[in-house]
C-alpha cells in the first residue's frame, strides 16, 4: 500500500517536466544554445564554407574601427529616433480621442489598427509605390503644392524617410491599442475630483492622465525601441539597405555579413553588440524610471 502511493507520487512528479519538455527543448535548441553559440562564433573567423578559426576579439576590433559599422549604428539610431517618439505621441493623442464618446468610434479604431495585421512585405511594397520617384502619388501631390519631385528611396539623403513613414503606418495603431486599454483602466473618480476643482481638459491630461500612465509609457517605450532596433523586413523590402548604405541598420548589416558575404564571425559580433546596446538601453530606461519614483 505504502509502496503504491509512493510509486504514484513519484509518477506524478515527473508529469510537470513532461508537460514543459517540448517547450524547453525548443527553447534550449533555438534560443539558449544559439545565444552562447553566437558569442563563440563572434570570436572566430568563419567563412560560411570553411571551418571556424579562433581569433579572439579581432572581429570587434575591426568593427569598432569600421566606417560601415558605425554607419549602421547611426542608421539604427536615426530610424529609432524617427519612429519611437513620433509613434508614442501620436498613439497617445489618438487613444485619448478614441477614449471619448465620439461618433464612429469603432470605425476609427479599426481603421487605425488594420495596418498592424498587414505583412511588412506588403507594407514595404505599398509604400515604395507611393514614394516612387517617377510615378508615385506623393510626388504628384507635392507637385500640386508647387514643390519639386523628391528622389525619396533612390537618394541616400532621403531614403530613410519613406521607411519611417511606412513604419509609423502600423506602429502607431499598435501603441494606440496599448494606450487605449490603459486609459480604460483609469478610475473616473480622479477626473471627477479634478473637474470639481475646475481643471480643464488640457490640465486634466497633463496632471492626471500623463502621470497615471507612467508605467504604460515605460512599457511602450521599451517595446518600441526593441522593435525599432530589430526591424528588418520593411527596410529590406523598401531599399535593401541602400542606396550607398544609407539605410543599412545593424540588423541589415548582420544579414549582409552573414548571408550575403558569408562572414559568420563578423556578423555574430554585430549581433552581440546589438544585444549589448539593447540591454543597456533597457536598463537605462528602467533605472531612469526608478529614479523618477
Partner 1 sequence: MRKHRRTLDGSRVVDVFLIVLLVLFTLYTLFPFYWMITTALKPASEILVVPPKFFPSSLQFENIPKALSMAPFGTYFLNSSIVTVTAVIITVFINLLAGFSFAKYSFPGKNALFLVVLSTLMIPMQITMVPNFIILSKLGWLNSLVGLIIPSCAEAFGLFLARQFISEIPDELIEATRVDGAGELRIFFSVIVPNCHALIGVLVIFTFMWRWNDFLWPLIVVKDQAHYTVQLGLKVMQSYQYVDWSSVMSASLVCILPMVVVFACFQRFFVQGIAASGIKG
Task: Show contacts with partner 1 in window 148-177 (CB under 8 A).
Answer: 169, 172-174, 177
Calculate the alpha carbon distances from 21 to 2, 8, 29, 36, 168 in Å.
29, 20, 12, 21, 39
Quick one: which of 73, 77, 126, 208 contacts partner 1 (CB under 8 A)? Answer: 126
Rule CB under 8 A: is residue 118 a binding residue for partner 1? Answer: yes
Quick one: which of 33, 81, 157, 210 contacts partner 1 (CB under 8 A)? Answer: 33
- Contact of 43 with 267, CB cutoff 8 Å: no
Quick one: which of 133, 154, 223, 243 contacts partner 1 (CB under 8 A)? Answer: 223
Rule CB under 8 A: is residue 187 a binding residue for partner 1? Answer: no
Q: What cell was used for 178?
A: 496599448
Least distance from partner 1 to the Cβ atom of residue 244, Å: 19
Calculate the alpha carbon distances from 274 to 39, 70, 77, 90, 254 in Å.
12, 12, 11, 27, 10
| Residue spans of alpha helices (H) in the chain | 2-27, 33-41, 58-64, 67-98, 105-113, 120-130, 137-144, 160-184, 188-196, 201-204, 210-212, 214-230, 233-238, 250-255, 264-292
Q: Which stretch binds partner 1 (CB under 8 A): 56-64, 79-87, 156-164, 229-237?
A: 229-237
Question: Which residues neighbour 113 within 8 Å (Cβ) at sequence distance 6 or greater?
Answer: 173, 174, 176, 177
Rule CB under 8 A: is residue 255 a binding residue for partner 1? Answer: yes
Rule CB under 8 A: is residue 201 a binding residue for partner 1? Answer: yes
Quick one: which of 1, 2, 3, 102 contacts partner 1 (CB under 8 A)? Answer: 102
At what angle are helices 214-230 and 264-292 packed, to 10 degrees?
Answer: 170
Give the nearer residue to partner 1 in terms of CB position, either 77 or 222: 222
Quick one: which of 49, 148, 202, 293 contacts partner 1 (CB under 8 A)? Answer: 202
Rule CB under 8 A: is residue 130 a binding residue for partner 1? Answer: yes
Euclidean distance between CA atoms 225 and 103, whole angstroms? 33
Rule CB under 8 A: is residue 54 a binding residue for partner 1? Answer: no
Distance from the Cα of residue 32 to its chain's centroid: 21
Rule CB under 8 A: is residue 55 a binding residue for partner 1? Answer: no
Quick one: which of 6, 53, 81, 114 contacts partner 1 (CB under 8 A)? Answer: 114
Quick one: which of 6, 32, 68, 81 contacts partner 1 (CB under 8 A)? Answer: 32
Amino acid at each position: 500500500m505504502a509502496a503504491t502511493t509512493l510509486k504514484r507520487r513519484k509518477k506524478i512528479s515527473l508529469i510537470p517536466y513532461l508537460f514543459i519538455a517540448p517547450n524547453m527543448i525548443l527553447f534550449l535548441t533555438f534560443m539558449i544554445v544559439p545565444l552562447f553559440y553566437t558569442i563563440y562564433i563572434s570570436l572566430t573567423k568563419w567563412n560560411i564554407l570553411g571551418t571556424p578559426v579562433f581569433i579572439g576579439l579581432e572581429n570587434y576590433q575591426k568593427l569598432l574601427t569600421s566606417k560601415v559599422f558605425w554607419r549602421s549604428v547611426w542608421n539604427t539610431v536615426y530610424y529609432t529616433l524617427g519612429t519611437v517618439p513620433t509613434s508614442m505621441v501620436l498613439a497617445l493623442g489618438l487613444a485619448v480621442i478614441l477614449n471619448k464618446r465620439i461618433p464612429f468610434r469603432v470605425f476609427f479604431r479599426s481603421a487605425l489598427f488594420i495596418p498592424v495585421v498587414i505583412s511588412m512585405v506588403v507594407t514595404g511594397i505599398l509604400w515604395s509605390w507611393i514614394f516612387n520617384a517617377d510615378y508615385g502619388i506623393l510626388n504628384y501631390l507635392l507637385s500640386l503644392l508647387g514643390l519639386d519631385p523628391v528622389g525619396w528611396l533612390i537618394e541616400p539623403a532621403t531614403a530613410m524617410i519613406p521607411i519611417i513613414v511606412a513604419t509609423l503606418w502600423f506602429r502607431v495603431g499598435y501603441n494606440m491599442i496599448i494606450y487605449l486599454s490603459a486609459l480604460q483602466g483609469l478610475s473616473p473618480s480622479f477626473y471627477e475630483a479634478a473637474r470639481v476643482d475646475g481643471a480643464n481638459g488640457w490640465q486634466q491630461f497633463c496632471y492626471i492622465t500623463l502621470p497615471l500612465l507612467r508605467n504604460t509609457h515605460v512599457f511602450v517605450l521599451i517595446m518600441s525601441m526593441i522593435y525599432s532596433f530589430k526591424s528588418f523586413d520593411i527596410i529590406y523590402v523598401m531599399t535593401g539597405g541602400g542606396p550607398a548604405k544609407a539605410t543599412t541598420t545593424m540588423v541589415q548589416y548582420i544579414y549582409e555579413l552573414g548571408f550575403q558575404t558569408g562572414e559568420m564571425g563578423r556578423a555574430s559580433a554585430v549581433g552581440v553588440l546589438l544585444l549589448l546596446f539593447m540591454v543597456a538601453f533597457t536598463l537605462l530606461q528602467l533605472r531612469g524610471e526608478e529614479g523618477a519614483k
